Amino acid sequence: MLNRWVVNFAFFLHTYHPYQRTKFFFYNLLENQHYRYKKYFDLFMMGLIFLSVYILIRSVKHEIPHEWLLFNNFVISFIFLSEYLLRFWVHSNNSKVIIDQYEHDLFLHRPFSFWEAMKTIFHQKMEYILSVTAIIDLLAIMPFFHEFRLLRIFILFRVLKLFRYAKSMRRLISILASKKFEIITLVAFTMIMIMVSSVLIYIMEANDPTSRINTLFDAIYWSVVTIFTVGYGDFVPVTHGGRMVAMMIIISGIAVISFSTSIVVSAFTEKLDEIKEEKLIDGVNVLKRMYIICGYSPLVHEVIRKLHKRHLSILILEKDPKKVLQARKEGLLALANDPASLHTYTLLKINFEHQVEAVILLHESDVANIYAGLTLRELTKKIPLYSILHHPENRKKFSLAGIDHIVNTHELVGRMSRIIAHQPVAFEVIHALRSEQTSTIVDEIILDAMVSDRFYRLLDDPLFYQRFSVLGIFSTSRQKFHFNPNHEFKIQPGDVAIVIANRNLIDEFRTKLHRRG
Amino acid sequence: MKHRCAAIFGYNEYSKQIFQQIKESYKNVGLFVISDTEFLSAKNDGINVEKFDLSDDWSAIEARFDMSSLIVFCALNDDAENVFLTISLRATFEKLFIIALAQDSESMMKMKSAGADKVIPILQIAANVIADILGKPIMTQVLHDVLYEDSPLTIMEMEIKENSPLNGLYLHDVHFKRDFDLILLAIVDQEMGTTFSFASKGQNHHIDEGDILVFMGYKDKLHRLKEWNEGVRG
């Protein structure tokens, strides 16, 4: 009966949207580094920590207003307690564990094993309770019981909680964790040295009336101060034996310091590339609008030179680390990730709809471009895909892969050759206009019916007359280009004028066209 | 047409496309390859090619073409070899019209220094097209149709003859847009050398014999202007 009720309740929770939504919200807020509001939550918690430590420090020598203490002991502690309980809640999914166990037992024609499910839930929750961060969290709540004055020292655990909220601190821990074995060895060596030297110095010095080292605690204190090369000088060995021990521990101290320095330095050196990569990925996540270019080749360099004028960020995805290095040397944002792998986009957490303007496939092989194109189409149908085509016979395959715009340089060069052979000057003119090498450019101006009158009026303005050429107006509704339109041509919303003029004059025209009044 | 025959050097995707595009326009088109691999590859594709080397012996070319009406496309795979081919041809044939392909802008400068009349910078052109499709898709489509497709709209360059009615006029005296339904894009002033200036910049330009005017417009109207310029029509 109880089993039945537990399973029904688990199914209810699992399908109850408000419950799942709330849990998902708290999971994002507490654990998801990429959740947009998490950084505000982290900043809020860090603010509370600093406030609470400030109150503790101030209380040492000053009288603290009652409200402050109340705020510190109850409000802040209550917030920390709530955070601890929420983390405990979102750490695992109990209803899913029960459902999984139920379905597993059902499949094997066994009765539902309630205790097996409880065991799994218990293990998962204990995993959280026994984690270092959760222990620190729990200890940071302790000052709540402020009647026990000694427990107020636990407020310092709130400082340790900072590790949870500051990303750089988490990174520091992860770097040091990679040298776990070396650190454990160092700690063990240091402790043995301290233990041996403390016992030896105690034996040598404790019975000498001129020595200040009289107790085992004095001996340990002296050993620690000496091995870490601090040497206050408040306790000094006076016997020959004691001085021998001092010499031994001073030499060991140098070894301990150099060993620990080398561990930290080598950990950072080994992780440097990883840290840089992580920082780059973080940088990609905050980009608002960008172009993604797949592959890195000399063509990419040229395309980027042109695209930079559009003031949009450009991200290069290239699986060859050597090419990535080369791109980075050129000052480009490049990641050594395979653009044809779904894993890349999961790792980068790119929001295609909000972040990506278009994807340009510029690998030096058609196979790679089609493969990357198919991967991207699996992820999104909305983003326009552009690709270079190296072999004209593959054109159909590109279309099938869902690539919207295909550029074939061979075909283009062939057609250009025909024009250049017949009309070399005309070709030069068009090429110069398109490559924007001179101040005169060809550009598009989007029009609407509202600006129709002003458009024709401006063309007669002495500033623009004969200096501003309108090649024609492209009617988007009729998909037709009207060459050299006269003033009777009716402009429809969304029509596009194609103009040739000095780039500053075009900007001025645009400004005047859309100016109110 | 000034040139009646064409020689294409190199056998690759570019030269194949050039061959496809120009073969109808010239009486005599020859493909020349430098290596045995290219030779075999062309044979396999069923295309007749001839072998050449980078020495200064051009007798085979001279025997096959009338050099005064020949246009040459230098489309070898390697930019260095292409520059060498261009400079070799220029050294031997001073008047030959040479079009060379260059992978990047660095090679483009070298091709020009080597004596190529026109250089097609492949990467730059591809980049321009990609960037234009992204940023100015309509303009790109319109220009593509005008330049490469069989559109009623086209571009035309026209040389001013001695007896041209335009000879001696200022640009601001002629209303090409209003009177001819044509748009003047640019003008090459013979007195100023071969560089061109855009019509939108120099309305005070004095049109002289030998100047080249570049227009965009409908084919029939361009044809009418051409006839008028040549004194066929009044």
pLDDT tens per residue across span A226-240: 999 888 989 999 999
CB within 8 A of B146, min separation 6: which ones? B153, B154, B155, B216
Which pLDDT does position A392 carry in this prediction? 86
- One domain for residues A124 and A186: no
Which pLDDT does position A109 carry in this prediction? 83
- One domain for residues A452 and A344: no
Nearest C-alpha neighbor of A369 from the set A383, A382, A385, A358: A385
Q: Which residue of A has its CA nearest to B185?
A: A429
Residue A281 inside a domain? The answer is: no
CA distance to partner chain A, nearest, from residue B172 (Å):
8
Q: Which residues of B fall within a CB distance of 8 Å from A424?
A: 117-118, 157
> What mean pLDDT is predicted for residues A364-378?
94
More confident residue, A309 or B131: B131
Please give the residue range of the domain that contains residue A257.
180-273
C-alpha A432/C-alpha B207 separation (Å) is 22
* Residue A315 parent element (H or E): strand A313-317
> What mean pLDDT is predicted for residues A489-513?
87
What's the CATH code of the domain at A262? 1.10.287.70
Phi first, then psi, for residue B215 (nearest 5°) are -120, 160
CATH 3.40.50.720 residue ranges for chain B: 5-124
If contacts are CB pairs under 8 Å, which of residues 425-444 in chain A contact chain B? 425-435, 438, 440, 442-444
- Asked if B198 and A467 come within 8 Å (Cβ–Cβ), the reply is no
If DSSP states are collapsed to H, E and C, what string results for A32-97? CCCCCCHHHHHHHHHHHHHHHHHHHHHHHHCCCCHHHHHHHHHHHHHHHHHHHHHHHHHCCCHHHH
Which pLDDT does position B190 carry in this prediction? 62
Residue A221 inside a domain? The answer is: yes
Which of A364, A386, A425, A436 to mutate: most B Cβ within 10 Å? Answer: A425
How many Cβ pairs within 8 Å bridge chains A and B? 194
- One domain for residues A20 and A50: yes
Q: For the sheet containing B49-51, what is the strand order? A: B49-51, B28-33, B5-9, B70-74, B97-102, B118-121
If contacts are CB pairs under 8 Å, which of residues 28-87 in chain B contact chain A? 71, 73
Q: Tell me the whole-structure pTM to 2 decimals.
A: 0.68
Phi first, then psi, for residue A241 (nearest 5°) are -60, -45
- Asked if B14 and A413 come within 8 Å (Cβ–Cβ), the reply is yes
Which candidate from B3, B181, B203 shows the least CB-CB separation from A421? B3
> What mean pLDDT is predicted for residues A142-167?
67
pLDDT band for position B203 (cuts 50, 70, 90): low
Residue A278 inside a domain? The answer is: no
- Asked if A419 and B148 come within 8 Å (Cβ–Cβ), the reply is yes
Q: pLDDT averaged over chain A? A: 87
pLDDT band for position A174 (cuts 50, 70, 90): confident
What's the CATH code of the domain at A462? 3.30.70.1450
CA distance to partner chain B, nearest, from residue A465 (Å):
9
- Asked if A444 and B131 come within 8 Å (Cβ–Cβ), the reply is no
- One domain for residues A21 and A131: yes
List, as own/partner pairs, every contact residues A5-8 make where C-beta atoms lie below 8 angstroms and the sequence separation is at least 24, other chains included. Answer: A6/A98, A6/A114, A6/A117, A7/A98, A7/A99, A7/A102, A7/A112
C-alpha A379/C-alpha B229 separation (Å) is 59
- One domain for residues A132 and A222: no
Pairing, β A469-475 against β A480-483: antiparallel
Q: Does A445 touch chain B (CB under 8 A)?
A: no
> What mean pLDDT is predicted for residues A72-89?
89
- Asked if B17 and A410 come within 8 Å (Cβ–Cβ), the reply is yes
Q: Which residues of A fall within a CB distance of 8 Å from B139?
A: 442-444, 496, 498
Residue A425 inside a domain? The answer is: no
- One domain for residues A207 and A81: no
Nearest C-alpha neighbor of B210 from the set B189, B230, B183, B179: B189
> What mean pLDDT is predicted for residues B134-154?
87
Residue A280 inside a domain? The answer is: no
CA distance to partner chain B, nearest, from residue A169 (Å):
42
Q: Which percentage of chain A shows pLDDT scores above 90?
A: 36
CB B45 within 8 A of CB B103: no
Residue A91 inside a domain? The answer is: yes
More confident residue, A426 or A145: A426
Rg (CA), chain A: 35
Q: Which residues of A fall within a CB distance of 8 Å from B10?
A: none
Which pLDDT does position B23 carry in this prediction? 85
pLDDT tens digit sequence for A330-353: 889 999 999 999 999 888 888 888
- One domain for residues A146 and A189: no
- One domain for residues A66 and A206: no
SS3 state of residue B65: coil
- One domain for residues A488 and A361: no
Which pLDDT does position A238 carry in this prediction? 93
Which candidate from A413, A432, A498 shows the least CB-CB separation from B142? A498
- One domain for residues A60 and A197: no
A413-428 burial code (b ≥16 CB/10 A, e <16): bbbbbbbbbbbbbbbb
pLDDT band for position A192 (cuts 50, 70, 90): very high
- Decide which of 1.10.1060.10, 3.40.50.150, 3.30.70.1450, 1.10.490.20 is the CATH code for B152-229: 3.30.70.1450
Q: How far is CA B149 from the centre of its chain?
A: 17
Which pLDDT does position A150 carry in this prediction? 58
- One domain for residues A56 and A161: yes
Residue A347 inside a domain? The answer is: yes
CB A134 within 8 A of CB A128: yes
Nearest C-alpha neighbor of A160 from the set A135, A130, A136: A136
Sign of the Cα torsion A208, A209, A211, A213 reads positive
- Asked if A440 and B135 come within 8 Å (Cβ–Cβ), the reply is no
- One domain for residues A161 and A223: no
A363-373 burial code (b ≥16 CB/10 A, e <16): beebebbbbbb
Q: Is residue A400 predicted with pLDDT exceeding 90?
A: yes
Least confident of A22-26, A147-151, B158-162: A147-151
Q: Tell me the fold of B5-124.
A: Rossmann fold (3.40.50)
DSSP conformational letter for A489: P
Other beta carbons within 10 Å of B187: 23
Instruction: Give the total number of structural domains in chain A.
Output: 4
Q: Is residue A44 predicted with pLDDT exceeding 60?
A: yes
C-alpha B8/C-alpha B19 separation (Å) is 7
How far lies A158's CA from each of A73, A132, A136, A173, B176, in Å? 13, 13, 8, 17, 81
Q: Which residues of A fall within a CB distance of 8 Å from B145?
A: 481
Q: Which residues of A fall within a CB distance of 8 Å from B136?
A: 442-444
* Residue A509 parent element (H or E): helix A503-514
Residue A335 inside a domain? The answer is: yes
Other beta carbons within 10 Å of B65: 22
Q: Does A27 touch chain B (CB under 8 A)?
A: no
pLDDT tens digit sequence for A244-274: 999 999 999 999 999 999 998 998 888 888 8
Among A251, A273, A295, where does a domain finish? Answer: A273
